[in-house]
Amino acid sequence: MICPKCGREFAAPDLRSLNVAADPSLRERVKDGSVFVCKCPVCGADCLAPEPILYHDPEHKLLIAYTTAGLSSEGLEGYTCRLVSSVGELIEKVKVFDAGLDDVALELCKFVTSQELKKNVSLKFLKMDGADGEITLTYPENGQMQMLEIGHNVYTDCVGIVSRNPVLRQSAQGLVRIDQAWVSQFIAG
């Protein structure tokens, strides 16, 4: 990879097999992002590891791929396979699935919430907590990260909508990119 600061080339860490079953400490280092940061050996700058990055959670049958190379979901029957376009999206997916949430319903939730906000912002899942399972989303505004709490019932409603929509369910099969653009094609169409 090329260091964005000094322009020198160095060997990127191999993140083609982030298997959380083989290394349990990996899960947290993925979620806090530290596993994706590498140091340039020339100038010492912190750099973000490039693709391809493959996250694999065999216990939960989950595969998340950050790559533009051709990938097939062959041999991954019963798996939830997701394509993402950035390290940030990969981290968000891991947080969503680790919270036991369905990412299709969550993307719908984000879509509905951004409509209500009447703001053209990109919402990200941060966490689910509290006795009522409140969901915290974040979005950037005026250079700052804003937090937004939504009730668990919003998510539950979205789970219901998804379960009653076979086309939506069907399109979430295989190795797919589930994001705001994906959800909006079913709603805005």
Q: CB atoms < 10 A from the CB of 128, how many?
A: 19
Binding positions for Zn ion, 107-146, rule CB under 5 A? none
Cβ nearer to Zn ion, comparing 20 with 38: 38
Residue 5 CB, nearest approach to Zn ion (Å): 5
Residue 177 CB, nearest approach to Zn ion (Å): 31
Spatial neighbors of 120 by CB under 8 A, at least 6 apart, are 114
Residue 39 CB, nearest approach to Zn ion (Å): 9
Taking Cα atoms as reference points, which of 102, 161, 160, 167 lies closest to residue 128?
Answer: 102
Cβ nearer to Zn ion, comparing 40 with 65: 40
Binding positions for Zn ion, 3-62, rule CB under 5 A? 3, 5-6, 40, 42-43, 45
* Token pair for 124: 């990200």
What's the rounded Cα separation, in Å, for the pair 89 and 31? Answer: 11
Residue 53 CB, nearest approach to Zn ion (Å): 20
* Token pair for 107: 């993307």
Only one residue has tokens 């295989």, namely 174
Cβ nearer to Zn ion, comparing 3 with 106: 3
Cβ nearer to Zn ion, comparing 21 with 43: 43
Q: Diameter of the chain by CA atoms?
A: 55
Only one of the segments 1-9, 31-39, 81-89, 151-159 lies at the binding site for Zn ion (rule: CB under 5 A); that segment is 1-9
What's the rounded Cα separation, in Å, for the pair 53 and 44? Answer: 22
Cβ nearer to Zn ion, comparing 4 with 140: 4
Q: Are 31 and 55 in contact (CB under 8 A)?
A: no
Residue 83 CB, nearest approach to Zn ion (Å): 30
Number of residues that bind Zn ion (CB under 5 A): 7
Q: Are 78 and 63 in contact (CB under 8 A)?
A: no
Residue 12 CB, nearest approach to Zn ion (Å): 13
Interface with Zn ion (CB under 5 A): 3, 5-6, 40, 42-43, 45
